[in-house]
Amino acid sequence: MAPTPGKTLRETWWMPLVCFGLALALSRTETVQLLEARTLDWRTRYRAIFQAPPDPRIAIALFEDSTDTNMAPWPVDRAWHGQLIKLLALEKAAVVTWDVLLDASRPGEGDRAMAQDTRLAIQAGTKVVVGASTSPTATEARPGASEPTQPLENITGDRRRVEGTAHGLLPFPELRAAGWWGGVDAPRGPDGIIRELPLLIRIGEHHYPSLALQTLLVYLGVPATEVRVVLGDAVYVPAAGRTWRIPIDERGWFLLNYRYDQPGERTDFPTYSYLELLVKINDSRVEQKPGGPRPPDLAGKIVFVGQTVTGKADAGPTPRGAFSPLVLVHANLLNNLLAGDYARRVPAWLVWGLAVLLGYGGIVALAHRSVITLCGSLVLGAVGYAALATGLWVGGSWWLPVIGPVAGFAGLQFIVIGRRIRAEQRVAQEIRGLFGTYVSPQVVESLIKAGQPPQLGGVETEITAYFSDIQGFSSFSEQLPPARLVELMNEYFTACTEIIQEEGGTLNQYAGDAIVVMFGAPVAFPDHTSRACRAALRVQLKLGALRAKWRAEGAKWPPVVGEMQARIGLNTGRCVVGNMGSRMRFNYTMMGDDVNLAARLESGAKHWGVYTMCSEATRADCVRHAADRMVFRPLGRIVVKGRAQPVAIHEVVCLQENLTTDTRDCLELFGQGLARFAARDWAGARALFTRSAALEPNLPGRTVGVRLNPSLAYLEIIAGYAAQPPAADWDGVFVMKEK
């Protein structure tokens, strides 16, 4: 019977807790976190196939190799930056955001020109935001109270956790006075990829927006004083008739939902060369050259300016590329803010809580399935979970961890599989033991070694069939209640079966009080006859010990139990042995006329007052293999019911070493009497049988349970023949009228 869910849970309650607990601890290590981030990168690259284009208000201008070669090497005179700002203002760009640190002042007119162009652009409606960052070393730059960039003051939470230093790398003073600046701090992860970055930085005692957040604020026209920051919750920006909620953690960091990377793809930011914009806008707006290429439409857009010159590149690995301009990080962040496209982590309590619950559910449903089913569920479970994680990221930007939960699930499945394998081995051993109680262990081993399930059919071979029955069994059934009868028979059957299997016999079946055994199959012992005879004698000796035990137990058993005797019939011959029955149910058994003869000898033994009787075939083969170790008594020739040919029968008396003087004398007198009987000398036979009867090993009234012995049986036959002699052609054969 299959275990109940309650029993299964009681045995396995610890497995999900241990497996997922260890997986949770493992998932917090740096190595696993890196692997987890890599799986997210794979999902991000897959997502790019399906995602929509970025916010159309964002464009990228790159100072790349072509600009560096054809215009001037990086870093160029800042007057060129001023020119680009002025030209973008002509194109009515909404914001020009520089992912460039323009901190130290330079000699010449470049700084003044860029600052002047910045002021003019702002007056024309194009805001300018420049990069700044925290500095681990002291600098002379100090934010001014009258500058456009103001700190964020409305902050709730532990400000000490905000990324920052005492000093900052700020735009040169003229530029700082003209436009806004924001932090470009974007620490890389252990693998060099930026996946999170701060939305605010601390410089000295004040906190300032990041480059992307500052760009959003100037684009929306929201002053820093109106921004509310709740660390561990969100940055709240009131604008356009609503409050923008931007999620952050306790440090003020934002989980980047990186989508758009290499320029040129349909779903990436429109990207232009720094030099291309200078030339096209100048030719179109300033020089107004006819027929020239039109500049891109940048009206109302936010233009990010970055640098990616080989050997000087502000570039590196991203979730979507091995080497990309890092201005794309800030552009992606701004895209997240504009679109409300936020990456969200599935809460850890939900992930691991559901993992544990599903672990318990899986155990209840699968713990007792086959190993193949369990292995299949491991593969399907891992694939299904990975598909779920991918679907959540592609469809909703939910980051569902993969490595830790799958490791926990795999660990749980390996334990369940190991437990199942151990259980199957244990069951196999139990089946082997249980099957061995019905048939010889050699049968089990031969079937196992065959490497295939048993098939119907048999082979003809020589065996010794063994049938035993309890004398007067109906008396036991009448005097014992069923439970006590079962207890008695189990003790008897156990004793007999142990001896039979020790001698190499194969238990064929228990039929009521009968035991049916074969010797010589499936393992073909050459001395199967002597094994069968020796087993029969040992069973009779053991039954004698059991009778003494039962009598010693007093009132526990009625007197009939202490008188139990068993009769055994043995015959040797060629029979068909194999699996017989239906295709749905069959037994390893024996069939043939010689099997039936063994059964007749067992039932016929009562007519001769013997308890172990065998055929001449059994005796002759036993003598051939065991020489004179076994003592037999010839009982004459009989014709059993159902057969026409007579068969010589013998009593298996004892082993030679157990033969007493009285028994030897009894057998000698009995043999002489049997000869006189065959010669129709009734008087001579009577005299000899009378003398042998006094020496019989089993005597009525002296041996418990004995009512007859061979000498007394022949005296009864002689009495009948004396009154009614057999026919003149009688040859000494006794014809049995009953089974």
- What integer is the mean pLDDT of 224-229? 96
Cβ contact 558:484 at 8 Å:
no
Task: Give the class (CATH, top level) of 455-659.
Answer: alpha beta
Q: Would you state the pLDDT for residue 434?
A: 46
What are 151-162's pLDDT values in tens digits? 999 999 999 999
CA distances to 9, 58, 269 from 334, rounded to whole Å, are 51, 8, 12
**Is residue 229 predicted with pLDDT exceeding 80?**
yes
Cβ contact 170:176 at 8 Å:
yes
User: Quick count: other Cβ atoms within 10 Å of Cβ 65?
Assistant: 16
pTM: predicted TM-score of the whole model, two decimal places: 0.64
Beta bridge partners of 127: 95
What are 684-729's pLDDT values in tens digits? 999 999 999 999 999 988 888 888 999 999 999 999 888 888 888 8
CA distances to 148, 176, 520 from 81, rounded to whole Å, are 20, 15, 104
Q: Would you state the pLDDT for residue 297?
A: 94
- What integer is the mean pLDDT of 313-334? 91
Local structure of 33: helix, strand or coil: helix
In sign, the C-alpha dihedral spanning 546, 547, 551, 557 is positive
Q: What value does the mean pLDDT of the chain take? A: 88
- Rounded Cα distance between 274 and 308, Å, is 11
**Is residue 74 predicted with pLDDT exceeding 70?**
yes
What are 407-451's pLDDT values in tens digits? 878 877 777 777 767 766 776 665 565 455 555 566 566 555 544
Cβ contact 330:254 at 8 Å:
no
Across 349-496, the runs of DSSP E, i.e. the strands, are 398-399, 457-470
Q: Would you state the pLDDT for residue 368?
A: 64
**Spatial CB neighbours of 616, under 8 Å, sequence gap ≥ 6:** 647, 648, 649, 650
- Rounded Cα distance between 226 and 647, Å, is 119
- CA proximity to 504, closest of 528, 483, 480: 528
Domain ranges for the chain: 5-37+349-433, 55-342, 455-659
**Is residue 650 predicted with pLDDT exceeding 90?**
yes
Q: Would you state the pLDDT for residue 452?
A: 47
Q: Would you state the pLDDT for residue 515?
A: 95
Across 180-323, the runs of DSSP E, i.e. the strands, are 180-183, 196-198, 200-203, 206-209, 228-230, 234-239, 242-247, 253-255, 271-273, 302-307, 315-316
- CA proximity to 117, closest of 182, 179, 180: 179
- Rounded Cα distance between 422 and 611, Å, is 47
Structure token digits, residue 74: 């990086």
